[in-house]
């Protein structure tokens, strides 16, 4: 790591404040050649399970996915609610289109 220094001159000209912080030794070429860098390990090794807490009901459940946030029963309820809302939006869009076609004629 190299040092990056930032000199600041306050109102008093005799006093200098020096701020230093480390900057990683990475330049734009490292990003361009990122396919040559070592690959990160996968999200989860196969067959590894974890215990998570459901964000809806608070129950603990076991899963193999880091992505899941709800237990099976809550997930089915949420999926059904989302599907119902999507169907309502679709019906409203079709009704608006029909109304536009009737007005145009």
Domain boundaries, the chain: 2-104
The owner of tokens 């459901």 is 54
pLDDT level of residue 72 (50, 70, 90 thresholds): very high
Q: Beta strands of 1-105 (E only): which ranges?
A: 2-8, 17-23, 50-53, 60-63
Residues sharing a CB contact under 8 Å with residue 44, sequence separation 6 or more, in sequence order: 50, 64, 65, 66
Residues sharing a CB contact under 8 Å with residue 8, sequence separation 6 or more, in sequence order: 16, 17, 18, 19
The pTM score is 0.50
pLDDT for position 28: 60
């Amino acid at each position: 790591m190299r040092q990056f220094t930032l000199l600041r001159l306050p109102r008093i000209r005799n006093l200098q404040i020096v701020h230093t912080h480390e900057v990683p030794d990475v330049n734009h070429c490292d990003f361009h050649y990122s396919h040559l860098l070592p690959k990160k390990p996968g999200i989860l090794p196969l067959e590894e399970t974890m215990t998570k807490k459901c964000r809806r009901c608070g129950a603990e459940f076991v899963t193999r996915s880091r992505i899941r946030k709800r237990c099976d029963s809550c997930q089915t309820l949420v999926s059904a609610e989302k599907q119902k809302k999507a169907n309502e939006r679709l019906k409203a869009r079709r009704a608006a289109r029909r109304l536009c076609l009737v007005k145009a004629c």
